[in-house]
Amino acid sequence: MSGQWVQFLASGLTAGSIYALVALGFSIIFNASRVINFAQGEFVMIGGMSAVSLVAAGAPMPLAIAGAVAVAAVVGLLLERLAVGRARSADVVTLIIITIGASIFLRGLAQLVWDKRIHALAPLSGDTPIEFFGATILPQSLWVIGVTIVIVAALSWFFRRTLPGKAMLATACNRTAAQLVGIEVRTVLFASFGLAAALGAAAGVLIAPITFTSYEAGIMLGLKGFAAAILGGIGSFPGAIAGGLLLGLLESLGAGYVSSAYKDVIAFLIILAVLFVRPDGILGAVRSERV
């Protein structure tokens, strides 16, 4: 019985770490622009698929990972420059719709650039499961959890100790004030898309050896990351991490002890529950702040 518990916890934490990375991406862009970027899931997909094709082209794993993150970051920056940035004077709902359009476009593009098949990526350190208090854990799960911790630590250093990080935080707190003290708000928005895309891609590369990847892989991960971001309070970095882990654990325990058929339902019930409890809803809160 205890073995089962540990197994569910391990599965939950692995999935939860990924949700947390995706949720962080949502929060970073939300802070910079008040936009919920529904193309966040596609960054995850682009990361995974790029890594797969780089490995297939003969690149060593570390290079493939770096390359995949770079490709996604460039796509993120292009998305800001070519679509979101151009419509900056439009209201937030319009910008969100643009991101939905962008996600559909990127998915279509992925079908053309790559294919419609499902791909596997080799794990970073083998496939031999590790025994752990009666449960068995894949080495890749430890990589996922470990790298997530490192990324979170690096992000918190970035936001607290560096000038660009502080500029992003200042923009999130008060855009007008940030602009008055000389922060280039435009650049912050631009950079936030690159950063969010890089985070998503890291998640995509880490998870691909466990769950495979395909042009459609971003849809569900994007939605789960969104649920996690809402659960933790969108815009809050600790919230995104807590929300991600909590969602992962709830899903895994729910599938284990309640019913496996309703695993995905749990994530969406959470979105609904949070939106109901906060009758303002996310968009409502944004609008009142803008007035």
Partner 1 sequence: MRSTGSSRHAPRIAAAALAAALCAAAPAVAQEPIRIGSFLAATGPASFLGDPEQKTLEMYVERINASGGVLGRKLQLFVYDSGGSAEKARTFTKRLIEQDKVDLIVGGSTTGETMAAVPLVEQAQVPFVSLAGAVVIVEPVKKWVFKTPHTDRMACEKIFTDMNARKLDKLALISGAGGFDRSMRGECTKVAPKYGIEIVADESYGAADTDMTAQLTKIKGTPGVQAVLNAGFGQGPAIVTKNYAQLGITLPLYQSHGVASKEFIKLAGAAAEGVRLPAAALLVADILPAGNPQKPVVVAYKRDYEERFKSDVSTFGGHAYDGLMLAVEAIKRAGGTDRQKVRDEIEKTKGYVGTGGVVNMGPADHMGLDLSAFQMLEIRNGAWTVVK
**Sites of contact with partner 1 (CB under 8 A):** 1, 4, 7-8, 10-11, 14-15, 117-120, 127, 129, 136-138, 207, 210-212, 214, 216, 219-220, 252-253, 255-256, 260-261, 263-264
| Closer by beta carbon to partner 1, 129 or else 146 | 129
Minimum CB distance to partner 1, residue 4 (Å): 5
Query: How many other CB atoms are found less than 10 A from the CB of residue 172?
Result: 21
What is the amino acid identity at position 140?
A: Q
Query: How many other CB atoms are found less than 10 A from the CB of residue 124?
Result: 17
Minimum CB distance to partner 1, residue 119 (Å): 8
| Closer by beta carbon to partner 1, 70 or else 220 | 220
Nearest to 44 by CA among 172, 203, 174, 161: 203
| Closer by beta carbon to partner 1, 14 or else 148 | 14
- CA terminus-to-terminus distance, the chain: 55
Minimum CB distance to partner 1, residue 288 (Å): 35
Minimum CB distance to partner 1, residue 75 (Å): 22
| Closer by beta carbon to partner 1, 16 or else 194 | 16
Distance CA 138, CA 145 (A): 11
Minimum CB distance to partner 1, residue 220 (Å): 4
| Closer by beta carbon to partner 1, 139 or else 164 | 139
Q: How far is CA 65 from the centre of its chain?
A: 16
Distance CA 48, CA 43 (A): 9
Main-chain dihedrals φ then ψ at residue 17, nearest 5 degrees: -60, -40
